[in-house]
Amino acid sequence: MVVDVALEPLNVEGNLFSKPIFIAGPCSAETEEQVMDTAVPLAAMGIKIFRAGIWKPRTRPNAFEGVGAEGLKWLQRVRRETGMLVATEVANTKHVYEALKHGVDIIWIGARTSANPFAVQDIADSLRGVNIPVMVKNPINPDVDLWIGAIERINNAGIKRMAAIHRGFSSYEKTLYRNVPQWQVPIELRRRIPEMPIITDPSHISGTREFLMDISQKAMDLNFDGLIIESHCNPDKALSDAKQQVTPEGLQNILDRLVLREPEISEELMFTLAELRDQIDKLDDRMINLLEERMQVAEQIGSYKKENNITILQTKRWDDMLKNRLRLGVRKGLSEEFIIKLFRSIHQESINHQTSIMNQE
């Protein structure tokens, strides 16, 4: 079950990265000024690795697709003036060539690229004989074998300093997160390649600043190895991923609140618990979406009753409904008391929604 991947510690220039590894910087390099205004305070906070996208894989055309190779000169300046190491995403052999030419210290492969074995193999071939650390983001779909396959392709090209980045997974369903974390996938990666450092990317999981803290803490609680967080000197004006970026100050606030615990229980127990809690979170998320849908239907009923001058509460309908839900619920092992309480409360909420529709002018 364990995959054989030859790894060495993620050192750069004799600089040993101790856990947790914190990587920060903007989603995209936009201007030299924006890059420096973000990098200088991050370096002052003690961040050792600066991230910035130079070529941006955007979902739709006409979105900002990065400044291209010109931005690599700004990263050289960051390196020179702050002493931070610089990291960027590569998606093809031309990007690899440019990044190496400009002395980028660490490269990463993005989620859309990891999902494509041909693209990963091309990148791997162009890295043969080059001694650079490579981080591999999870593919956009929750397929641990595809993720491992991408890691193996890079590793087989002789790259030994590697890390995996967990950035969550796309889903059609509307969820709380931009990319559902599906913690069981990085957990499975840890089981299959125990020595592979796993760095969580709370920014692309959350899609919004407000969840960064929770996701970061969860990654630390799972004993993962680090965080890569998007930080921008003026997040609201960012040309990509504006909602999820934080100022260096905001990032400092998150890092200050982060609790680093020694795992009290074994990693295996912790992982099992995390997987079960993950399932609960997903189910609750689905229940909330279903309740939202239910209230929307209730509102449609409200408008219909209003147009036709019918009263909101139709007692017979409510009696029949409750009887039917009770029968169904009891058959599924739920107590009568619970079903009654639950549906009374759902029904009351529906009435409130209908009433507000009926009272609208």
Binding site for ligand PEP (CB under 6 A): 27, 53, 57, 89, 110-111, 137, 167, 204
Nearer to ligand PEP, 20 or 110 (CB): 110
Contact indicator for 245, 216 with CB cutoff of 8 Å: no
Q: Is the peptide bond before 20 cis (omega within 30 degrees of 0)?
A: yes
110 binds, among ligand PEP, Mn ion, none (CB under 5 to 8 A by kind): ligand PEP
Nearer to Mn ion, 241 or 278 (CB): 241
Q: Least Å distance between CB 10 and Mn ion?
A: 22
Residue nearest to Mn ion (CB): 27
Q: Least Å distance between CB 53 and ligand PEP?
A: 5
Q: Please count the CA atoms within 13 angstroms of the CA of 315 that sit on its side-chain side.
A: 0
β-partners of residue 109 are 90, 136
Residue nearest to ligand PEP (CB): 110
The backbone region for 334, taken as left when phi is positive above 0, alpha when psi lies in -120 to 50, beta otherwise, is: beta
Nearer to ligand PEP, 51 or 190 (CB): 51
Residue 30 binds to Mn ion (criterion: CB under 5 A): no
Residue 42 binds to Mn ion (criterion: CB under 5 A): no
Nearer to Mn ion, 27 or 91 (CB): 27
Q: Least Å distance between CB 332 and ligand PEP?
A: 39
Distance CA 302, CA 137 (A): 47
Nearer to ligand PEP, 179 or 350 (CB): 179
Nearer to Mn ion, 27 or 35 (CB): 27
Q: Residue 115 CA to chain centroid, in angstroms?
A: 16
β-partners of residue 28 are 53
Stretch that binds Mn ion, among 74-82, 102-110, 129-137, 233-241 (CB under 5 A): 233-241
Q: Least Å distance between CB 185 and ligand PEP?
A: 14
What phi, psi does 97 have (nearest 5°)? -60, -50
CB atoms within 10 A of CB 19: 12
Residue 27 binds to Mn ion (criterion: CB under 5 A): yes
The backbone region for 151, taken as left when phi is positive above 0, alpha when psi lies in -120 to 50, beta otherwise, is: alpha
Q: H-type helices in 25-141, by residue range?
A: 32-44, 70-82, 93-101, 111-114, 117-127
Nearer to ligand PEP, 216 or 354 (CB): 216
Nearer to ligand PEP, 181 or 302 (CB): 181
Hey, what are 275's tokens?
Answer: 């997987």
Concatenate the DSSP letters of all residues of 247-280 into one string. -HHHHHHHHHH------SS-HHHHHHHHHHHHHH
Q: Least Å distance between CB 239 and ligand PEP?
A: 12
Residue 241 binds to Mn ion (criterion: CB under 5 A): yes
57 binds, among Mn ion, ligand PEP, none (CB under 5 to 8 A by kind): ligand PEP
Three-state secondary structure call for residue 66: coil
Q: Least Å distance between CB 122 and ligand PEP?
A: 17
Q: Least Å distance between CB 192 and ligand PEP?
A: 21
Q: Least Å distance between CB 137 and Mn ion?
A: 11
What phi, psi does 235 have (nearest 5°)? -55, -40
The backbone region for 210, taken as left when phi is positive above 0, alpha when psi lies in -120 to 50, beta otherwise, is: alpha
Residues that bind Mn ion (CB under 5 A): 27, 241
